[in-house]
Chains A and B, each alone.
Chain A
Amino acid sequence: MSDVVIVRTGVANLASVLAGLRRLGVTPDVTTDPAAVRAAQAVILPGVGAFGAGMAALHEHDLAAPLKERAAAGRPLLSVCLGLQLLASSSDEAPGVPGLGVFDAHVARFPDTVKVPQLGWNKVAPDAGCRLLEPGYAYFANSYRLPEAPAGWSAARAEHGGPFIAALEKGALLACQFHPELSGPWGLALLDRWLTAAREA
């Protein structure tokens, strides 16, 4: 059994995140078991398709409560792409569907003044409170984003039709709108720093 667990939430493509972790010497367990999500030292909530389907998958496996508990207790959790959005309270992508509500924020679609989806590398600028996030270029693949940082979180921002939240962190909680596993050496170094923080937490 690994101390790192990846939440399987449906048709998510896990191959890239698994390959990234393997390069860091980690072979995580992939699970839909709420008990495993509660027990693990470190949990990864990867990006999957759409907001509504993502929440439905979490509810189907009774995973919403253990994920909210982890976040509330500040126990190590990495959320990637849609994973970050699921922490919010709602999204333009699925009106009326509540998110996990880890923070009170609404996820909105990018404006039509820019190409949507955002596909490619964008410059990430962390604020002074960030400990895990460093400046650099990260790979994004998203049509929706968090326009502003919720209270109590340190944030890294990027620009696509105005500023948006590239990542959030609070202790051993890290949420990335970008894909660290696809962001080259910069992204792998971030994954490594989070794993270290998660194991020390």
Chain B
Amino acid sequence: MLTHRVIPCLDVKDGRVVKGIRFQGLTDAGDPTDAAARYEAEGADELVLLDVSATPEGRGHAVDTVRAVRAVLSIPLTVGGGLRTIDHASALLDAGADKVSVNTAAVRDPSFIDRVAGRFGSQCAVVAVDAARRIGGPGWEVVVHSGKERTGIDAIAWARECAARGSGELLLTSWDKDGTKSGYDLELLTAVSEAVNIPVIASGGAAHPDHLVEAIHAGASAVLAASIFHYAEYTVGAVKDVLAARGIEVRRG
């Protein structure tokens, strides 16, 4: 049986990890390579590296960061953040990413998904779907620019379109829940998971291992979390212990 994946997310800005990581004994908490190696050793199933650099100069570090991380990492690596062109995707993959995650550029021009999937394969083409509940109405709409812009596009219909265009996986973030530490938006997760036949990674809102359990029960194939791991509240291994104790099959080392 395919196990459910636990995926830590590293936010990287100008080549440095942001949202301080508090691992014991880490010589340099801001070094993405140290953080990546530590997560793999703890039992992470994959790693997502999100480039949150605000400038082109900052984003220029991403390829170097990916190359350095790949040298120490023997689990899959997904890279996203500000991805606009096939050339940029190609550079990240050549440097050692296994999948690329596209977001705003795909919403602006959905054919970008076809091009990424056509060139590199569906298994390589992740679409990050950022969704927020509609104000004063039912359902969810797609948001872009870090949640600052509401597009009016129905999130469920958009998820279906991403899959139809060749995306092999959706990284679904609830902008209502992100940062709230109150758990994932389970209704959104179930609605999207039932709408598409590709894996859905849950993101946004996790603060406790039980939140990850809930997300998997709601239909998520994988759970992504950042702060729950960064602040060493739980190790990846401790979270997997909880999942296993709740009857969820996870990979054990």
Q: Identify which of residues 89-145 in chain B touch chain A, using a CB-to-CB cut-off of 8 Å.
A: 93-98, 119-124
Known: A13-B124, A121-B251, A182-B75. A19 touches B3 (CB 8 A): no
Number of A-B contacts (CB under 8 A): 104
A187 vs chain B, min Cβ distance (A): 7
Docked-complex contact B71 and A22, CB < 8 angstroms:
yes
Docked-complex contact A182 and B45, CB < 8 angstroms:
no
| B11 part of interface (Cβ distance < 8 Å) | no
| B1 part of interface (Cβ distance < 8 Å) | yes
Q: Which listed residue, B70, B75, B168, touches A119 by the CB 8 Å rule? A: B168
| B151 part of interface (Cβ distance < 8 Å) | no
Docked-complex contact A120 and B45, CB < 8 angstroms:
yes
For B97, the chain A residues whose CB sits under 8 A away are: 13, 15
CA distance A164 to B153 in the complex (A): 39
B251 vs chain A, min Cβ distance (A): 4
Docked-complex contact A117 and B198, CB < 8 angstroms:
yes
User: How many A residues, CB 8 Å from partner?
Assistant: 37
Most-contacted residue by chain B among A50, A120, A137, A185 (CB, 10 A): A120
CA distance A6 to B199 in the complex (A): 31
User: How many B residues, CB 8 Å from partner?
Assistant: 37
CA distance A120 to B169 in the complex (A): 11
Give chain B's interface residues, CB within 8 Å of chain A: 1-5, 40, 45, 67, 70-71, 73-77, 93-98, 119-124, 168-169, 197-199, 221-222, 251-253
Give chain A's interface residues, CB within 8 Å of chain B: 11, 13, 15-16, 19-20, 22-23, 49-50, 112, 114-123, 137, 139-143, 159-160, 179, 181-185, 187-188
Subset of 20 A-B contacts with CB under 8 Å = A13-B93, A13-B97, A19-B71, A22-B71, A23-B74, A114-B2, A115-B221, A117-B168, A120-B221, A121-B5, A137-B251, A141-B98, A141-B123, A141-B168, A142-B123, A143-B168, A159-B1, A183-B74, A185-B74, A188-B74
